[in-house]
Structure 1
Amino acid sequence: MTGFLSSISSVVVIVLIMLLGYILRRQGWFADSFAGNISKLITQIALPASIFISVQNNLTRDSLVNLFENLLVPFIGVVISYIIAVILVKIIKVQVGRRGVFINTVANANTIFIGMPLNVALFGNKAMPYFLVYYIINTVSTWAFGVFLIQSDDPELIEEEKKEHKIEWKKLLPMPLVGFIVAIIWPLTGLKLPTFASQTFTYVGNLVTPLSLIYIGIVLADSGIKNVRIDKDSLFALIGRFIVAPAIMILLVRFCAPAIHLPMPALMDKTFIVQSGTPALAVLPVLANEAHGDVDYATNVVVLSTLLFIVVVPILMVIAG
C-alpha cells in the first residue's frame, strides 16, 4: 500500500507542475519564445550537468565491476525492447519526427523521478543496489543511444541529407550525449570533482525535471489540452511501455535467468520488473523540440503514460509479488 501511495504522490507532483506551466502560459506570463528558451536551457546546459553529476554520484569503477554480472539481464531487456520498437515503427509506419520518441518510450523509463521513490517505498533501501543496476542500463541506453535516435529523426536533418547526400555528424552529437561521454571518462582520470563544482552541477542539473514539466504544460496550453488523445502511434508506444517492456523483463528474470543458472535474488527480480514498467521520460518533448520533431506527440505520450501509471502500478506490484 505504501508503494502505491508513493507512486500516486509522484504522479500528482508531476501533474501539478505540468498544470503550473499550463496555467501560467494561459495567463500570459510566458512569451511565445519562452518555451524555446527553456528547451535550449534544458538540453544545452541543465541536462548535461544532470547526467554528469548523476553518473559521478552513482557510478564508480569498482561498482561497475561488482555489478557487471547483474547488468546482463536489464541490458538484454533494453536491447530486445529497442528491436521490437524498431520493428513496430516499420509495421505501423510511424512518421518521421515521431520515430525517435516512439522508440525511446518503449525502451527507456523514468527511473529517477518516479522509479526510485517507488522502489524505496516498495522494497526499502536494501534494494537500492539493484535499482542502481537498472538505473545504469537505463542511463546508458537513454543518453548514449536514445537521444541519438531522436536527433537522427530530425525531419530537417533527414531532408538535408537527401539533398546533400551527407550526414551532419555535429548535429548528431547533442550536448546530453557529450555530457554522458565526459561523465564516463572523468572517473577514469582519478581526479576528484571539487565540492563547488559538484554543487554547481547538482543545482543546475536539478532544473531538468521541473523545467521539463513546465515546458509540457506550456505545450499543452498552446496545442489545447483537448488534443491530448490516444492516436495509433501513441497507443502502440503505450503498449510498448506498459506491456511489452515489462513482459520482456518478466520472461528474462522468471524464466531465462533460472534456465541459464544466473543468480537472481528476489529483490533484484522485483526491482527489475517494477522499473521496466515506469512511465516515459519527462524530457522527451524537450528533446523532440530540439530535433524539430513532433512535440505534441511527445507531450501526448508523456502525459498519457504518467496518468496511466496510476492504473499500471498496482498490477506491477502484484506481478512483482
Structure 2
Amino acid sequence: MVLQSIKSIFALLILIGMGFYFAGKKWFGKNGMDFLSKFTVEATLPFYMFYNIYRDLESRERLLFLITKVSYVFALILMCVCLAAVTAKVCRIREDRRDTFIVAAGFPNVVFIGFPVIQALWGEGITSVGAIYYIASTVLFWTLGISLLQRGEKNGKSARWAQNIKNLFCPTVVGMFLGMAAVFFRIEVPDFILKPLSMISGVTSPLALVFIGSVIRNMETSSIRIGKDIVVAVLMRFIMVPATAVVFLRLLPVTQEMREVFFMLTVMPAMAQMGIMAREYDRDYEFACTVITVTTVISMVTIPVFMYLMQTFVIFG
C-alpha cells in the first residue's frame, strides 16, 4: 500500500506541475488562475460534495455516526490553535504577526490540497469522512480564525460578523448539507441527474491541483523573506501540529481509517483563504502569503513522507 500511496502522490504532483507549466503561458496567466479558483469553489466543488456524500453514505445511520465525530475535529483544531498561541508567545513572534501565525498553524488547506490527497490515497468513498473535518474547519475559521485576524485592525474597520456568518454558507457548504439532507430524508436522486454530477465531480480534484500549480508559478519570489517567524511557522505546521495530532487521534474511539484521514488533513499546508482575509483585515499580508507559499511548496515533500511514516510504522494501528 505504501508503493500505491507514493504513486498516487506522484500523480497529484504531475497535475500540480501541469498547472505550474500552463500558468507561464500568455493565454493563462493570472486571469486563468483566478478563473480556476472561482470555478472550482463556486461551480465544481459544491457538486463534488453533494455527489460524493450522497454516493458514499449508505444509510441515515452512517450519516449520523459520522456527524457524532465532528466534535473530535473541533477539539483537534482548537488544540492546534492553542498550541500555536503558546508557541507564538514563547518564540516571540512579532506582535503584528502573532494572530496570523496562529491562524496559519491551526487551519490547513482542506479544499484545494486536502480533498485531492485523501481521494487519491483512499479512493472516492472517503469524501464523507473528509467532509466531517471540513465542517469543523470551516466553522472555526469563519468564527475563531476571522476574529483573530480582526483583532486590532489597523484601519479601524468594525467587525463584520454578518458577512462572516454568510461565508459559513458558501456554495461548497450548501452542496455538502444538501447531500446530507438527501441521505437523511432518503431522497432518491434520479440517474439523469447523478450522471452529470458524477462527471463534474470528477474534474474537481484535478482542477484544484492545477490551480495550486498556477499559484506556485505566480508567486512573487522577490517578496519572500525567510526570517525567524516563517521558520517557526513551518516547524509548527509540519512538526508540532502533526505530533499533537498523532497523540490526540490515538486516544479517540474511532476507526483507524478515520484517524488516518483526519491526520492527513491536519498536516496539509496553511489555508489559502488566510491570505485573502489577512489582506481584507489589513494584517501582515506579505507574512501570510509567504507562510502559505512556503508551506505549500514544502508540503509536496511532507505529504508523501507523512503517508509513508503513517503506513510503515502503523502509527494508528
TM-score range, shorter chain: 0.7 to 0.9
Partners of 1:6 and 1:228 in 2: CA distance: 37
State the Cα deviation string for residues 70-96 of structure 1 (Å, max 9, x = none). Answer: x76x54542332122221343316555
SS of corresponding position for 1:180: helix
Contact 1:152 1:158 in 2 (8 A): no
Shift of 1:4: 1.0
Unaligned runs of 5+ in 2: 280-287
Which aligned pairs between 1:105-184 and structure 2 lie closer than 5 A?
105=108, 112-115=115-118, 118-119=121-122, 134-135=129-130, 137-143=132-138, 145=139, 148=142, 152=146, 162-169=156-163, 170-184=166-180
Confirm or deny that 1:246 pairs with 2:246.
yes
Instruction: Summarize the Cα distance change of 1:241–1:47 in structure 2 as closer, same or farther, 3 Å threshold.
Output: farther
Partners of 1:106 and 1:246 in 2: CA distance: 18
Match of 1:221 in 2: 217
Contact 2:131 2:176 in 1 (8 A): no
Contact 1:101 1:150 in 2 (8 A): no
Identity level (%): 16
Match of 1:56 among 36, 46, 54: 54
One-letter amino acid of the counterpart of residue 214, structure 1: V
One-letter amino acid of the counterpart of residue 56, structure 2: N
Q: If the length of structure 2 is used for normalisation, what is the TM-score?
A: 0.73
Shift of 1:310: 2.6
Contact 2:269 2:299 in 1 (8 A): no
SS of corresponding position for 1:23: helix
Match of 2:302 in 1: 308
Match of 2:285 in 1: none
Shift of 1:5: 0.7
Unaligned runs of 5+ in 1: 121-127, 258-263
Contact 2:142 2:168 in 1 (8 A): yes
Match of 1:194 in 2: 190
How many aligned residue pairs are there? Answer: 291
CA RMSD in angstroms, aligned pairs only = 4.0
Contact 1:85 1:103 in 2 (8 A): yes
Shift of 1:8: 0.8
Shift of 1:32: 2.4
Instruction: Summarize the Cα distance change of 1:49–1:96 in structure 2 as closer, same or farther, 3 Å threshold.
Output: farther
Shift of 1:185: 2.6
One-letter amino acid of the counterpart of residue 196, structure 1: F
Partners of 1:218 and 1:132 in 2: CA distance: 25
Q: If the length of structure 1 is used for normalisation, what is the TM-score?
A: 0.72
SS of corresponding position for 1:305: helix
Moved more, 32-41 or 307-316: 307-316
Partners of 1:160 and 1:191 in 2: CA distance: 50
Instruction: Summarize the Cα distance change of 1:247–1:110 in structure 2 as closer, same or farther, 3 Å threshold.
Output: farther
Confirm or deny that 1:236 pairs with 2:242.
no
State the Cα deviation string for residues 136-158 of structure 1 (Å, max 9, x = none). Answer: 53243345x25635983796999
Partners of 1:221 and 1:44 in 2: CA distance: 23
Contact 1:42 1:208 in 2 (8 A): yes
Partners of 1:200 and 1:158 in 2: CA distance: 47
SS of corresponding position for 1:5: helix
